[in-house]
Structure 1
Amino acid sequence: MEGVVVRRVIPSDNSCLFNAVGYVMDHNKNKASELRQVIAAAVSSDPEKYTEAFLGKTNEEYCTWILNPEKWGGAIELAILAEYYGREIAAYDIQNTRCDLYGQEKKYEERVMLIYDGLHYDALSMCPFEEAPEEFDQTIFAVQKDRTVGPVESLALNLVKDQHRKRSYTDTAKFTLRCAVCQIGVVGQMEAVAHAQATGHANFQEYRS
Structure 2
Amino acid sequence: MEMRIRIRGPAGQSSVTLDEAATIDDLRRQITDRTGLESYDVKYGYPDIKPMLLDGLPLGQKIADLGITLHGEQLIVTQRENSTQAPTRVSDEPPAAKQPLNLPVSDKIPNKGSPDDPPEVPSLEHSGTFVLRIMPDDNSCLFRAVSSATMGGVDVMTELRSVIAQTIQANPDLYSEAVLEKKPDEYCRWIQNEDSWGGGIELSILSKHFDIEICSIDVQTLRIDRFNEGAPLRCIVVYSGIHYDTIALSPSSPPFTHADVPPEFDTKVFDAADPLVLEKSLELCQILQSRHYYTDTAGFRLRCNICGGTFIGEKGATQHAEQSGHVDFGEAS
- Is it true that 1:67 corresponds to 2:192 in the alignment? yes
Question: Partner of 1:121 in structure 2?
Answer: 244
- Is it true that 1:34 corresponds to 2:159 in the alignment? yes
Aligned with residue 286 of structure 2, among 137, 146, 161 = 161
- Cα distance per residue 1:113-163 (max 9 Å; x no partner): 10011100011111124243111100000121xxxx332211101000111
SS in 2 for 1:17: helix
CA distance in 1, matches of 2:196, 2:306: 16
For residues 137-152 of structure 1, the aligned pairs below 5 Å read 137-144=266-273, 149-152=274-277
Question: Partner of 1:134 in structure 2?
Answer: 263
> Across the two proteins, how many residue pairs are aligned to each other?
202
Q: How far apart are residue 207 of structure 1 and its match?
A: 2.8
SS in 2 for 1:190: helix
Note if contact 1:177-1:204 (Cα within 8 Å) is conserved in structure 2.
no
Q: Which structure's CA Rg is the greater one?
A: 2
Note if contact 1:20-1:29 (Cα within 8 Å) is conserved in structure 2.
no
Paired amino acid for 1:141: F
CA distance in 2, matches of 1:158, 1:29: 28
Consecutive unaligned residues of structure 2, counting only runs of 5 or more, are 1-125, 253-258
CA distance in 1, matches of 2:154, 2:308: 31
Note if contact 2:303-2:332 (Cα within 8 Å) is conserved in structure 1.
no
- Cα distance per residue 1:63-84 (max 9 Å; x no partner): 0010111111000000000000
Question: Partner of 1:101 in structure 2?
Answer: 226
- Is it true that 1:207 corresponds to 2:331 in the alignment? yes
| Normalised TM-score (structure 1) | 0.90
Q: Which has the higher helix share?
A: 1
SS in 2 for 1:49: coil
| Stretch of structure 1 that moved more, 128-137 or 16-25 | 128-137
Note if contact 2:305-2:330 (Cα within 8 Å) is conserved in structure 1.
no
Consecutive unaligned residues of structure 1, counting only runs of 5 or more, are none
Q: How far apart are residue 11 of structure 1 and its match?
A: 0.6
For residues 1-20 of structure 1, the aligned pairs below 5 Å read 1-20=126-145
Paired amino acid for 1:2: S
Q: How far apart are residue 96 of structure 1 and its match?
A: 0.3
Q: 1:29 to 1:176 in 2, by over 3 A?
A: farther
Paired amino acid for 1:170: T
- Cα distance per residue 1:71-113 (max 9 Å; x no partner): 1100000000000000000001000011111011xx2110001
SS in 2 for 1:170: coil
Provide the alpha-carbon RMSD of the alignment: 1.6
Paired amino acid for 2:331: Y
